[in-house]
Amino acid sequence: MKARAATAFVFVMLLWGMGLTGASGAGLTELAPWLVRFTGGLKGVYTPVEGRPLAWSLAWSPSDGTVRKGEVAVTGADLALRVVLDFDAADNRLSWRVVEGRVDLAAWLPELATRPELAEMLKGMTVTGALVITGEGTVKDDVVTGELSATWAEGKLSNAEQGWSLEGVSIRAGGDMAELEKGRVPVEVEVRTISTGRFGARNFSAKGRLTEEDNVEVQSVRIEIAGGEVMAEPFTVSLESQKVGVILVMSRVGLQDLIVFVPTTLSEARGRINGKLRLDWNPVDGVQIGVGELSLDKSEPTLLRLVSTPGFLTEQVPARFVLAPWLGPLKGLFSPKNPSYPTLQEIELGKLGLRVDALEVRLNPDGDEKGRSASVHIRARPEREGSAVREVTFQVNVAGPLAEVLRMGMQQNLSIQTH
């Protein structure tokens, strides 16, 4: 029993230091009575991943009836954890302090990626920086006080295969020992810059806590993207299933950085949007778009310019008006040109932009009452004043996978007003 208690204590400390409180199933208040009865030392080896053995040891000075001193240590390649202990017999108080705690993440990540439960998530990732473990506290009469935390500061995480990187990463897990003893671990995350093949973002921050049910309860998320702000409503992540479902609230997000998502439709976009959108993610299906609504932010003008798509607009209108078809060969004399046709042609070829007065996007992957998984309504006018076309209004409806939204579906109802 003594060996079991000593081993459990060592790895409770290590797991706490790594932000995995509760994983061992044994708390400090349960282990402290066994721990203080030792005289001499115990040691052993634990191998969390193949090729990475960790040597652990527990040593206590002989009892003199007053204060006993001890040390718990876990050491291995690129990892060191050392905790000094003091037991005051008269006061029945165990004091502890982390004097050394460091894990080289760059060295350990490839080894952790060999574990089956982590292999898919960590595949292709590289990391820089170290996890630093700090803390001190006391245990007396089953009451735990003090603090314990694990911090990763100014690190970098990237995946070249997937084309993304996070720089200026800071993560702090841990805090008040009374909360940790209950299996609740506060976590704070900050990322200075996020780079992907499609877009960039900055100043990401999130706060939440790990629970003993292997969930992460996320209380707040904020990120700056495309000159605007995106926040998330509180949500829970299951570490066991690795599934995430989150509702994003967007405020003044710039369109200019979002056209990468519709490269076959827009060549230029200026302006800002507001809205709410649900996103789901899992390792098998990746990101999935859920129910959402987007609309224009009226604080600044909005301009859209189409990718050159001959016929997109002009196929809906005649180049000439035939006023007297019964004249046969002479009907050309009574077929004036449609004054709006050249303007529409410029718009569809991307030569003339549109000043947008209204933009509404509705997403519903399960389909609305009309069976539409998405609908886009745009009301706009040519950016050049004096055009024969006063207003262009079209509705894009998509029935089927939401991926079709990025190709705009082109099942549109077009309305044109001319002077």
Euclidean distance between CA atoms 377 and 360, whole angstroms: 5
With a pLDDT cut of 90, the percent of the chain lying above it is 34
What pLDDT score was predicted for residue 263?
66
Euclidean distance between CA atoms 255 and 253, whole angstroms: 7
Euclidean distance between CA atoms 245 and 216, whole angstroms: 12
Element (H, E) at 368: none
| Residue 406 predicted with pLDDT over 50 | no
**Residue that has been written with the tokens 């109802």 in this structure:** 413
Query: Which amino acid would we find at residue 364?
Result: N
C-alpha 65: how far from chain center:
54
Euclidean distance between CA atoms 320 and 341, whole angstroms: 8
**pLDDT band at residue 81 under the 50/70/90 scheme:** very high
Say how many residues make up the chain: 419
Q: Name which of 110-114, 301-305, 341-345 the model is least confident about.
A: 110-114
Buried b (16+ CB within 10 A) or exposed e, 311-334: ebbbeebeeeeeeeeeeeeeeeee
What pLDDT score was predicted for residue 2?
33
The pLDDT mean for the chain works out to: 80
Per-residue pLDDT tens digits for 115-166 = 887 788 888 899 999 999 999 998 888 788 899 999 999 999 999 888 899 9
What pLDDT score was predicted for residue 225?
92
Per-residue pLDDT tens digits for 193-242 = 999 877 789 999 999 998 877 788 999 999 999 899 999 999 998 877 77
What pLDDT score was predicted for residue 328?
55
Residue 180 Cα distances to 54, 196, 211, 214, angstroms: 24, 35, 9, 14
What pLDDT score was predicted for residue 257?
77
Enter the pTM of the model.
Answer: 0.75
| Residue 335 predicted with pLDDT over 80 | no
**DSSP-derived 3-state class of residue 380:** strand
What pLDDT score was predicted for residue 31?
56
Euclidean distance between CA atoms 306 and 384, whole angstroms: 15
**pLDDT band at residue 287 under the 50/70/90 scheme:** confident
Q: How many CB atoms lie within 10 A of CB 227?
A: 12
**pLDDT band at residue 411 under the 50/70/90 scheme:** very low
**pLDDT band at residue 329 under the 50/70/90 scheme:** low
What pLDDT score was predicted for residue 331?
54
- The answer to whether the CB of 52 falls within 8 A of the CB of 111 is yes
Q: Name which of 57-61, 229-233, 304-308 the model is least confident about.
A: 57-61
Q: Phi first, then psi: what are they for 344, rounded to 5°?
A: -65, -35
Paired tokens of 398: 């998509």
Euclidean distance between CA atoms 11 and 57, whole angstroms: 11
CA angle (400, 243, 401) in 5-degree steps? 5
Per-residue pLDDT tens digits for 9-49 = 444 444 443 333 333 334 555 555 665 566 677 888 988 88
- Tell me which residue of 394, 385, 395 sits closest to 419, measured CA to CA: 385
Per-residue pLDDT tens digits for 367-401 = 777 777 778 888 999 999 888 888 888 777 766 55
Region 287-297: mean pLDDT is 87
What pLDDT score was predicted for residue 321?
67
